[in-house]
Each structure stands twice: as structure tokens, then as C-alpha cells.
Amino acid sequence: MFLYQHKVQFYETDLMGIVHHSNYLRFYEEARVAWAHDKKLLDYQRPESASHFAVYETQVRHLKPAFFGEDLEIEVQAKREGIRILFQYRMRARHEILSLAQTVHVSLNKELKLIRLPESYLKILEKEQWTETWL
Amino acid sequence: MFLYQHKVQFYETDLMGIVHHSNYLRFYEEARVAWAHDKKLLDYQRPESASHFAVYETQVRHLKPAFFGEDLEIEVQAKREGIRILFQYRMRARHEILSLAQTVHVSLNKELKLIRLPESYLKILEKEQWTETWL
Amino acid sequence: MFLYQHKVQFYETDLMGIVHHSNYLRFYEEARVAWAHDKKLLDYQRPESASHFAVYETQVRHLKPAFFGEDLEIEVQAKREGIRILFQYRMRARHEILSLAQTVHVSLNKELKLIRLPESYLKILEKEQWTETWL
Amino acid sequence: MFLYQHKVQFYETDLMGIVHHSNYLRFYEEARVAWAHDKKLLDYQRPESASHFAVYETQVRHLKPAFFGEDLEIEVQAKREGIRILFQYRMRARHEILSLAQTVHVSLNKELKLIRLPESYLKILEKEQWTETWL
């Protein structure tokens, strides 16, 4: 299982004293990009390679708040569904699950038009481990 | 139907030249806060009044990209579901629907513990118009 | 004098209960973009026109905090200094000055190389009113 | 010399394909917080301890752009000036200096009123190394 860590920064909190919910999508993006880079599906030198992960849908559930300075652990799992990639995420800190999420992605060309997933993605996604759904 | 407008700012775009998906949750929050302020359920002078809109779950669907400088129109509808408030949002620009979303909220006290929705909320939510679901 | 308004959003606050300082640069950018659009120096349809306002230096002074829901008023003044454009900003709310700032900009081409300011800019900047320095 | 690292995230870029300038203040805050935590002047469990680093003034110079996926190295130096703390920062990547910055901080109490720097800060700041100014 791919694991990603994020330390909560001061600027990610809001006036309730907890991490603002919009930042969870940023943490999950960090985890997804790290996963894709680890699988050699995303090349930082060619940022257009990120456009195979265009966001179609996001869903985030908040179970417990996250606080300034905490080290969040994010587990990632991915699978193919037709021309889409589905990611699920599980965020933990303080030996608890703080949040669960799912994001659905499609490939876009430079004109932002929908295209098929590249062959290299299909190969990687076939080999990925997918446990039961988390959400 | 409550309507909110947001002009896309330069700092809300990413290297694909479109609005970054995490910012949609910020636009939908702006619309929700404006709705709550309009109904006198949220008082800027007492920001703790915002804690009755603690985010339990978000879901955002992206149909078309949004671009720098565009004037986004966001329709809002709200209803009560037990101790939760459910919001739905429809974002338009260029005479098209760009995005649909739903967020689910609960009331928290100062210790971030779950409490019932205040009576004032129930009264407002009873009178709210809810058309068929948008997502 | 060009005037711009920004309402402070919930997501712009931090755990101290005030607007996070990094957001001031975003508010000042909003004001600068609105100024440039007003002068027809920036075309939202051609976002590359924004690259004539590449940021070389920023300086922000914080005199008083800004709070959730406040309507910030930002005054803008601009002048040319050789191949640079200099902007100054004065932010008010509650009949007080909250912040003063200055940003310095240069023109870049698509390869992010320094170029001269376009003629259209020089014409506009000649006509701009510049009072004494604010910082 | 204290050194901090930040990997540039996708959501930190803008439509020019580079890191948006407002994010530099966030990276410099990350470095400052890490420095203060390292010196035991900031306790994540007591986030109010961060209020001794209230921002009075920021100044950032941009020499070269920063790109998606880059590992930014930030050097930090700090010194006392009366009731203020002065930080300077030097950001590098690709064996070049990308940005230089200075931030000035003061201590605030819970009512956001100015107070003296705590004794523990003075002790740490006396021992800090300060080379010639970077800006």
C-alpha cells in the first residue's frame, strides 16, 4: 500500500483552529502525485503529464479534525474503471482515521479534450492492489 | 433560489491554465456563507456562529473547466436531514453548467463536539425551497 | 484613485482568528488585476497578457489585523520606473489603515525572459496619478 | 545555518506554469516555523505559541521562477532588533538562488496586543548566527 506523509502547516488552519476542509483535496493531490511519480506515470519535467489525472469528481468525508503541526499519514489505492482512474485515500493521525476520500480522474489532451488512458497507465493499474472500498 | 457570484482570480488557476479543483470548495463555501448571512444564521462579528456549518462531507463534480477572469454564477439550495444540513450547488458560466456539488454539515460546540441544530436553523430550513436533487 | 473591494472569506483566516498574511498578496493582486483590466492592459481572454505583470518584488506592512466578513477597501497607485512598474496599495477597514504595500513588476515573454514594457503600458502609466509614497 | 526543504506541489503553480508568488510567503513561514520548533520556541500542542511570530512586515525578491516538483532549499537566519525578530531567507534550486526574503515579527498576546519578546526568545536569538544581510 502506498503511503504519503504531510505535516500540517500554520497557513492550512482556519479560525476554528483546525485544518480548513479545502486543504484536504490538496493533501490528497500531493499523495496522488507522489504515487504517480513513484510509478513513473508523472514526470515533473513535463508537467503536461499531470493532465492524465484531470479531476472529474471528488468526495471527502471528515471524521475528526486535523491540527497544526500534526503528521498526517495518507494511504492510497487506485484502480481503473473504463477510461477513468479511481483513487481512494485514508488519512490517519493520533492512531485514528481522520478522513476518507475518493477522487475520479480522466485523461485530457492539450485542448482539454477527453482521451483514452495511455497504455502505460493500464499496465500499472492492472498490477495495483485494491482492497475493499474505503468509503 | 439563492444566487452567488465569484470572479475567478489569477491565483486560483494552476499550470493547466484552469481553476484548481480545490478552489471549488472555497467558492462553494463563499456561496454557503453568503446564504447563511442572508438568512441571518451567520454573524461575521461572532465567527463562532460559523461552527454550525462544520463540514462533514463534500462531493464535487467537474463538467467543464473554469478560466481566469470568468464570472461564475452559483445557485444554492439547502435542506435539513435529521441533525445535518445538506447543501447543493450548481455553477454556471458561458451559459453552461461547469460543476455540481453537495456538502453535508453538522453543528459543533466550542470543544468541536456534535450538537443539535439550533432552533433558528430549523425554522429557516423548513421554509427553504428544495427542487429535485442536482447530483 | 483606483479603488478595489474584497470581502474577507472564512478560508482566508488562520488559527489566530485573523486573515493569514500570505493572503494579502492575493488581495493586492486582485486589486492590481482589476486596475489593469480597467485600463485595458489585461485581457482575461488572453491570460498571457498578465505576464507583463510578473512579480519582481513585494513588500507588505501589517498595521492592524483583518477579520472574517470584513469589507476591505484597497487604493491603488502605479508608476513606471525604467523597465519596471511600481504599484502601491493602501488597505482600509473600520475607518483605519490595516496594511500598506508595494509591488514591483517586469514584463516577461513566453520563455519567461525579461522584455521592455509594451508601448500601451507607457501611455497609461504616464497619465497615472502618483501621490507621495505610501510606505 | 538552519536549512528547510519544500517540494513544489501542483496546486502551488499558476497559469504561467510557475509557483504563484503568494506561496513564497507560505514556504518561508514553513521554514520559520520549523526553525522555531527546532529551537523549542514553538509548541504544536499550544498553537498560541505561534503568536510570538506575528507578522509585521514581509519583503520578497524573485530572481528566478520555481517549477512544479522542484525541491526548494531554504536557508534561514534570525536576529533580534529591540522588540522585533528579524528573519532572512535564501531559496535555492537548480544550483541557483531563486528568491531572497526578509520578514519582521513581533509578539502579541491573546487580545492581539503588542508585548515584549519572552526571555526564552532572547536567549536563543543571542546565540543565533547572523551573517551579512542577504537583501
**D9: contact with A, CB 8 A cutoff:** yes
Output the nine-digit C-alpha cell for D51: 503568536
Residue to substitute from A9, A12, A14, interface C, most C β-carbons within 10 A: A14
Position D1 pLDDT exceeds 90:
no
Amino acid in position B59: Q
User: Cell triple for residue C15?
Assistant: 488559527
Per-residue pLDDT, D11: 98
Touching subunits of B (3+ CB pairs, under 8 Å) are A, C, D
Q: Is the pLDDT of residue A110 over 90?
A: no
Q: Is any Cβ of chain A less than 8 angstroms from the Cβ of B55?
A: yes
C26, C55, C61 member nearest D57 (Cβ)? C61
Q: D114 at the C interface (CB within 8 A)?
A: no
Q: Which of B10, B15, B22 sits opposite D17 (nearest CB)?
A: B15
Q: Which of D8, D14, D23 to probe by mutation at the B interface, max B CB count within 10 Å?
A: D14
CA distances for C130 relative to A3, B80, C66, C135, angstroms: 54, 54, 26, 13
With beta carbons under 8 A apart, name residues in chain C contacting B45: 69
Report the distance separating Cα C37 and Cα C41, nearest Å: 6
Nearest to A10 among D9, D29, D67 (CB): D29
> Count of CB contacts below 8 A, A vs B?
54
Name which of A15, A23, A24, A67 to mutate to probe chain C: the one with the most chain C Cβ atoms within 10 A of its Cβ.
A15
How far is the C-alpha of C72 from the C-alpha of D81, rounded, in Å? 31
> Which grid cell is C120?
500601451
pLDDT band at D133 (very low <50, low <70, confident <90, very high): confident
Q: What is the model's pLDDT at position B133?
A: 87
Half-sphere exposure of residue A133: CA atoms within 13 angstroms, side-chain side: 5
Residue D110 has pLDDT above 90, yes or no: no
- Residue C51 pLDDT > 90: no
**Cα–Cα distance measured from residue A43 to residue A45, given in angstroms and rounded to the nearest whole number:** 5
pLDDT band of residue C1 (cuts 50, 70, 90) is confident
Nearest CA in chain D to B68: D15
Query: What string of DSSP letters covers B36-99?
Result: HHHTT---TTSGGGGGGGEEEEEEEEESS---TT-EEEEEEEEEEETTEEEEEEEEEETTEEEE
Subunit contact A11:C17, Cβ cutoff 8 A: no
Residue A97 and residue A74 in contact, taking contact as beta carbons nearer than 8 Å: no
State the ipTM, two decimals: 0.95
- Identify the closest residue of chain C to A13 by CA–CA distance: C14
For chain D, say whether A37 makes contact (Cβ under 8 Å). Answer: yes
Minimum CA–CA partner of D57 in chain C: C61
What average pLDDT does range A3-23 have in this prediction? 97
Q: What grid cell was written down for C64? A: 492592524
The contacts of residue D113 (CB under 8 Å, 6+ apart) are none
Which chain C residues are within 8 Å of B13, Cβ to Cβ?
47
Q: Render pLDDT for D17-70 as a digit per residue (tens, 0 to 9).
A: 999 999 999 999 999 999 999 999 999 999 888 888 999 999 999 999 999 999
> Is any Cβ of chain C less than 8 angstroms from the Cβ of B118?
no
Closest CA to A66 of B55, B32, D51: B55
User: D112: alpha, beta or left, given left = phi > 0 and alpha = psi -120 to 50?
Assistant: left
Q: How confident is the model at residue D131 (pLDDT cuts 50, 70, 90)?
A: confident
pTM across the whole model: 0.97
From chain B, the residues in CB contact with C44 under 8 A are 67-70
Average pLDDT, chain A: 95
Tell me which amino acid residue A64 is.
K
Query: Which chain B residues touch C30 with a CB distance below 8 Å?
Result: 9
A91 has pLDDT over 90: yes
pLDDT tens for residues C63-91? Answer: 999 999 999 999 999 999 999 999 999 99
Q: Do D11 and B22 touch (CB under 8 A)?
A: yes
Question: Do residue C47 and residue B29 have CB atoms under 8 angstroms apart?
Answer: no
Chain A: residue whose CA lies nearest to C16: A15
Across the interface, which of B44, B47, B69 has its CB nearest the CB of C44?
A: B69
Within 13 A of A82's CA, how many CA atoms are on the CB side?
4
Helix, strand, coil: what percent of chain C each, to 5?
25, 40, 35
Q: How many CB pairs under 8 A join C and D?
A: 54
Rounded to whole angstroms, the Cα distance separating D1 from D3 reads: 6
For the stretch D60-104, pLDDT in tens is 999 999 999 999 999 999 999 999 999 999 999 999 999 999 999
Query: What number is the average pLDDT over the span A50-57?
Result: 93
The pLDDT of residue A111: 87
Chain C interface includes D67 (CB < 8 A): no
- Flag residues of chain B having pLDDT under 70: none
- B57 contacts chain A (CB < 8 A): yes
Which residue of chain A comes nearest to B49, CA vs CA? A16
Interface of D with A in 11-30 (CB under 8 A): 11, 13, 17, 26, 29-30
SS3 content of chain B, % helix, strand, coil (to 5): 25, 40, 35
Contact C47 B70 (CB under 8 A): no
Smallest Cβ–Cβ distance between B29 and the set C11, C26, C37 belongs to: C11
